[in-house]
Amino acid sequence: SNAEVDAYNTKVLTSLNTEGATANAYDFCVGDGQASIKEKVLSNVKNLKTTETYGLPLKLNLKVGAKYMMTVNIDTEDGLVNGACGKLIMIDYGKLQKTNETVP
């Protein structure tokens, strides 16, 4: 089950004694529309299950040295496709423009 996979992944990540971070999704609405409707949509998105967001989680736990697998097609020409695997070698940090918060 997805819950069992999530539990296993958490156990593996916890066992790694390497740098870690949590990457949070920052969702936004584009286009013309009422601000109140956009706010409601963004609020509702936070309550969706990963299975309802095309496999994109609200939070992603990162650990240097961990192996990761793509679960959706992001960029087929670049090889970022469902099932592609890789190993995290570095966490790059930047600052959010609105809050100046440092994030992975």
Q: Residue 41 falls within a domain, yes or no?
A: yes
Look up the pTM and report it.
0.77
Q: Residue 101 falls within a domain, yes or no?
A: no
DSSP one-letter code for 47: T
For residue 64, what pLDDT is reported? 98
62-72 residue pLDDT tens = 999 999 999 88
Q: Residue 11 falls within a domain, yes or no?
A: yes
Question: Which of 41, 21, 44 minimizes the C-alpha distance to 31?
Answer: 41
Residue 36, token pair as written in the block: 């109140």
**Contact by Cβ (8 Å): 1, 50:** no
User: Where is 24: in which H helix or E strand?
Assistant: strand 20-24
Residues contacting residue 63 through CB under 8 Å, at least 6 positions apart? 13, 16, 18, 19, 20, 88
For residue 53, what pLDDT is reported? 87
In the predicted structure, residue 2 carries a pLDDT above the cut 90? no
Q: Residue 18 falls within a domain, yes or no?
A: yes
Q: Residue 14 falls within a domain, yes or no?
A: yes
Q: How many domains does one find in the chain? A: 1
Q: Residue 104 falls within a domain, yes or no?
A: no
46-90 residue pLDDT tens = 999 888 888 888 999 999 999 999 988 989 999 999 999 999 999
